[in-house]
Structure formats: C-alpha cells, structure tokens
Amino acid sequence: MCALADLATAARDLEYRVIGGNMTTFHGARHTPRLPVRSTSDADAGIESSATAAQSLVTALVGLGYRQVDGSRFTRHHGGLELIIDLLVPDTYAQDHNIELGPLSADAAPGLALALARDATWVDASVVLTTQEEVGLRLPLPDSAAAVVLKTLAWAQRLADKDATDVYRLLDTWEQDAFSGQVRALRLSTSAHRAVEVLRHSFLAPKSKAQLLPTASQPLGRSLVAGFIDWVDS
C-alpha cells in the first residue's frame, strides 16, 4: 500500500482515478462482499490525456524517489520492497498501443475516458506503511458502473482469470450501489456498448467465466451479469 500512498501524494492536484486491483479491493470494502476479494501491492492510476498533467505527475513521482523504468512504469525501493506505480491513459482514439504523452509512453486503457468523465467515487482508507506508520488516504475510484466497464474491457484484452473474477466482484458492488440509489445511469457510450457485448457473450453464456467462482457463487455471478446488461440497455 506504500505505492498507493505515494500515488495519492503525487497526484493530489490532478484528475485521476485509482484503477486495477486496488479499484476492485476498495470498491469491495465499501459494502459487505458476497464474493471473494484479492489484494495487490502495485498501484495503477488512470490519468487524463494532458501532457502538462503527465509532466506534473512524473516530476512529483521523481521527487518522491521514483525512477521511470519503462514508458509509464515507476519504481522505488523502500524497506526491502520494490514499489511499482503504473500510469495509463484513455484510449480516446481506440488505440491499443502506447500513446506518447509528454514524458510518458503510456498504455491506453479502454473505458478510462468514460471513468474520467463520470464523477469519482471517493473512499477514505487507512494504510499502514512498512514503517508501521498509519496514513489516512482519500482516493478517487471510478464509480462502480464505470469500474465494471473498465475491468470487463481489461479482461477482453488480456483474457486473464484474475480480471474475470474481478468483473464479478465489481458487479457485486454495482448491484449494491444500484439497490441503495448510489449509481447514476450509464450513457451507452462506445466503451459501455463493447463491455455489454463482452459480458453477454463471455460471462452470461452457459459455459461462462462464472466457472472461476466457487460453485455456490456461480448462480449469483450470472445473475449479476444479467442485471447489469438489463440496466445498461434500459
């Protein structure tokens, strides 16, 4: 979590969203999770397509002791650990290759433009660093509907089982948000439409990714997918 604390410090004046595994973990912590959760030590951030913002963030990370080891990956060693922060940008022009943005050559994340256009879901977190110091963080997440879109499209790119199980976890959070009136309508953008098609063909079909869930949770997983598709289409 040290990398996440550094990210929050470096990006505090910028428009960004915490994405990746931390997005799933912190969304899951907002409600009582009905599906298993997982943790991650890296920090992924989705930032706006602005060379000025990118330069500001890179300068801040370098100031915290990070080294740019790849186009958009930053690392530093702390307490015997390697801290990693990865920066991603919107695929505004449907590019699936690296996008040059000031000092960055960053991967494009499908669905990130949608997440940045919608209001963030802010979470307050208490993180214990390797020094045993407890730090309070206020983190901007994509709202749960946009998070489902992001993670579904991430799975479609990588076909990683961990992304598939995260889709179900985020759908669980989305349904609880929808039940409590905490989610607003999702305009059927290009990325939302692509995500719905992926969910319909890969997660709702009889031989779907629900098999990755514990057997007892598979009916819930399929029900969550069907509910999200109906909600978006309505």
Closest CA to 111 of 176, 199, 6, 7: 199
Largest CA-CA distance found in the chain, in angstroms, rounded: 51
Which residues of 63-172 form beta strands (DSSP E)? 67-68, 73-78, 81-90, 99-101, 104-109, 121-128, 134-141
| Separation of CA 50 from chain center | 19
Element (H, E) at 224: helix 218-233
Radius of gyration of the chain (CA): 17
Q: Are 36 and 4 in contact (CB under 8 A)?
A: no
pTM, full prediction: 0.89
Cα–Cα dist 74/53, whole Å: 16
Tokens describing residue 96: 């699936």
pLDDT tens by residue, the chain, 234 residues: 688 889 999 998 899 999 999 999 899 888 765 555 555 668 999 999 888 889 999 999 999 999 999 889 999 987 778 899 999 999 875 555 678 888 888 888 999 999 999 999 999 877 666 566 677 788 999 999 999 999 999 999 888 888 988 999 999 999 999 998 888 888 778 899 999 999 998 888 766 776 776 666 778 888 999 999 999 988
Alpha-carbon dihedral angle through residues 195, 118, 143, 180, given to the nearest 10 degrees: -110
